[in-house]
Amino acid sequence: MVKTSRAEPPDDPIRRLAELNQIGVALSQEKNLDRLLETILLAVKNITNADGGTLYRHQPGKNTLTFAIIRTDSLRIAMGGTTGVKIPYAPIALRDAQGRENNSTVVAYSVLKGRTVAIADAYQEQGFDFAGTKAFDRHTGYRSQSFLTVPMKNHADEIIGVLQLINARSRATGEIVPFSETDQRLAESLASQAAVALTNRLLILQLENLFESFVGLLNKAIDEKSAYTGGHCHRVPILTMLLAEAAHEAKSGPLAEWRLTDTDRYELKIAALLHDCGKVTTPVHVVDKARKLQTLFDRIHLVDTRFEILRRDAELAALRAGAVPGADAKAVDQACRARLWEIQEDREFLRLCNIGGETMAPGDQERVHAIAKKYRWRNPAGAEVDFLTADEVENLTIRAGTLTAAERQIINHHIEVTIQMLEALPWPRHLKNVPEYAGGHHERMDGKGYPRGLTRDQMSVQARIMGIADIFEALTARDRPYKPGKTLTESLHLLGKMRLDGHIDPDLFDIFIRSRVYERYAKDYLEPAQVDAVDVSKIPGYSGD
């Protein structure tokens, strides 16, 4: 410790001890890092009755000190922390380019030596360079006199910050006096408490960052499996939080009293990020199935090959028939052309069926069944069989989309896996609802959803929010292999029909429309061609403003 003269008599120790205890409680309860740093500086300023103070951050192993909070009461200077005012000063180097220690600067010296520095009068001090301080005083008319610089050490005896106080004021006269020994002991005690509180907060933030990075890694793994689900995993959380904030801000309606805390927001965000984590177990060929006959490859090419065999057989038969003495060459040719045309028409029809779509007409399904029996061919084993296998008929007659009932069950199973994975984790109290929120986004308000068939009253508002976000993202997504992204009007029309069918929450649907959540989402995530003019009066199920 650098010695200094002590002019101020000791203050009331009982009062200061009570203040120290109150500060310790406040530090242990503060969760916001900026407010915590601000609380630390203001507390030590108050307990030492200093006019000004600065808190510097230091990362162990780094060569600089960065300004975090600056306060000077008499000059009305308040920068950093919760003020929103950026601190314009460059970091202070602990060593120069050659590695020499910067012992001429008080805060750098305090870090390098790991000790408190108390100075009675900067203008009389010979051991440190106060040129910058004096220049500041000339510019502002201030008089920087007494200094107290205290390093903040964590549990590992590493210095993670520095508190520098300026101009202790006499509680009796208000005059600037040196910091007393009591001031120093209290400041050091408070710096120790502050270092513990700051370290705990940083450790929590690091754990949260690590956890979120792991969640991102899981979504990246899903993304690597399928580019189609990867975008979904990123966009659903965006939509979820947009709708949640709109519901939080609602001033009227059934959700007027529903509110989110910062902890609630974080819990919902994590749930949204993990809502499809079970897809890590879903086979890629099912997730990415762009055509009805697609597995690891599109089997329509095998069907094409069979049609080519039929064409070849028809042409060979015509050649043989034409070679028979007395044959009617013209009739044979016409019959061959008719056969080839029929084969080509059926081939194009099956290729069209393979694409999939919103619905398939019953007549088209019947025609597929007819084609399967209409032609015969010899398989590689030499057996004469139907033109289409039972599996090919099942796939080509899918009524909507490209998935069979069995494949839909495989897709749907991902939510059960999601719930199993999330419920297996030892969630802390503030994240205990993540499995329920994430696991409920495929439930319906009428109880006809999956996997648990929950009704609206059995679901949290957060789970209902995620249900709408999941559906709207899927409707507007432009990276699906089986369909183009729909326009806003088309998507909201379908969403409205789902509201009328008891699929989604009616109150949240109204907020989604009334607060124009879809517009805020569309601005960043939809193509310009998708963003059309929406007439909300024509959206089914919307109750209006």
pLDDT tens digit sequence for 20-51 = 666 666 666 667 778 888 888 888 898 899 99
pLDDT for residue 41: 87
**What is the residue whose two structure tokens read 């393979």?**
354
Q: What is the 3-state secondary structure (H, E, C) of 464-526?
A: HHHHHHHHHHHHHCCCCCCCCCCCHHHHHHHHHHHHHCCCCCHHHHHHHHHCCHHHHHHHHHC
**What is the residue whose two structure tokens read 């007494």?**
146
pLDDT tens digit sequence for 368-418 = 999 999 998 888 888 899 999 999 999 999 998 888 888 888 888 888 999
Residue 196 resides in a domain: yes
User: Do 25 and 150 fall within a single domain?
Assistant: yes
Confidence tier at 483 by pLDDT (50, 70, 90): low
Q: What is the largest CA-CA distance in the chain?
A: 135
Kindly report the CATH number assigned to the domain that includes residue 35. Answer: 3.30.450.40
What value does the mean pLDDT take over residues 1-26? 56
pLDDT for residue 137: 93
Can you tell me the distance from the alpha carbon of 505 to that of 464, in angstroms, rounded to the nearest whole number? 6
Q: What percent of the chain has pLDDT over 90?
A: 61
Please, which residues bridge with residue 119 across strands?
147
pLDDT for residue 7: 44
Specify the pTM. Answer: 0.70
pLDDT for residue 202: 84
Can you tell me the distance from the alpha carbon of 4 to that of 127, in angstroms, rounded to the nearest whole number? 12
Q: Which residue has the higher pLDDT, 63 or 12?
A: 63
Contact 37, 198 (CB under 8 A): yes
Q: Which two tokens stand for residue 483?
A: 């369909």
Domain that holds residue 368: 300-402
The distance of Cα 521 from the centroid of its chain, to the nearest Å, equals 14
**What is the residue whose two structure tokens read 């002019």?**
7
User: Do 30 and 76 fall within a single domain?
Assistant: yes
Cα angle 468, 471, 421 (rounded to 5 degrees) comes to 85
Confidence tier at 9 by pLDDT (50, 70, 90): very low
pLDDT tens digit sequence for 190-225 = 888 888 888 888 888 888 889 889 888 887 777 777
pLDDT for residue 37: 82
Using alpha carbons, select from 87, 62, 50 the residue that is nearest to residue 163: 50
The count of structural domains within the chain is: 3
Average pLDDT, the chain: 88
Specify the 3-state DSSP secondary structure of 35: helix
User: Do 395 and 476 fall within a single domain?
Assistant: no
Residue 217 resides in a domain: no
pLDDT tens digit sequence for 320-377 = 998 888 888 889 999 999 999 999 999 999 999 998 877 899 999 999 999 999 998 8
Instruction: Give the H or E element holding residue 92.
Output: strand 92-93
User: Do 397 and 419 fall within a single domain?
Assistant: no
pLDDT for residue 457: 95
User: Do 305 and 243 fall within a single domain?
Assistant: no
User: Do 187 and 256 fall within a single domain?
Assistant: no
Q: Residue type at 324?
A: V
Among 170, 203, 236, the domain boundary falls at 203
Residue 291 resides in a domain: no
Q: Looking at the predicted structure, is the pLDDT value of residue 114 above 90? A: yes
Of the listed ranges 18-22, 113-117, 267-271, the one predicted with least confidence: 18-22
Q: Looking at the predicted structure, is the pLDDT value of residue 481 above 90? A: no
Which of the listed ranges 31-40, 276-285, 302-311 does the model predict with the highest average pLDDT?
302-311
Among 383, 402, 421, the domain boundary falls at 402
What value does the mean pLDDT take over residues 2-7? 44
pLDDT for residue 477: 85
Kindly report the CATH number assigned to the domain that includes residue 428. Answer: 1.10.3210.10
User: Do 47 and 176 fall within a single domain?
Assistant: yes
User: Do 411 and 454 fall within a single domain?
Assistant: yes
pLDDT for residue 6: 45
Of the listed ranges 85-89, 264-268, 307-311, 400-404, the one predicted with least confidence: 400-404
User: Do 381 and 530 fall within a single domain?
Assistant: no
Residue 295 resides in a domain: no
Can you tell me the distance from the alpha carbon of 340 to that of 475, in angstroms, rounded to the nearest whole number? 41
pLDDT for residue 504: 96
pLDDT for residue 4: 43
Residue 275 resides in a domain: yes
What value does the mean pLDDT take over residues 253-274? 94
pLDDT for residue 38: 85
What value does the mean pLDDT take over residues 49-66? 91
pLDDT for residue 412: 83
pLDDT for residue 233: 82
User: Do 411 and 385 fall within a single domain?
Assistant: no
Q: Looking at the predicted structure, is the pLDDT value of residue 526 above 70? A: yes
What value does the mean pLDDT take over residues 57-76? 92
Among 402, 427, 462, the domain boundary falls at 402
Residue 398 resides in a domain: yes
Q: Looking at the predicted structure, is the pLDDT value of residue 3 above 60? A: no
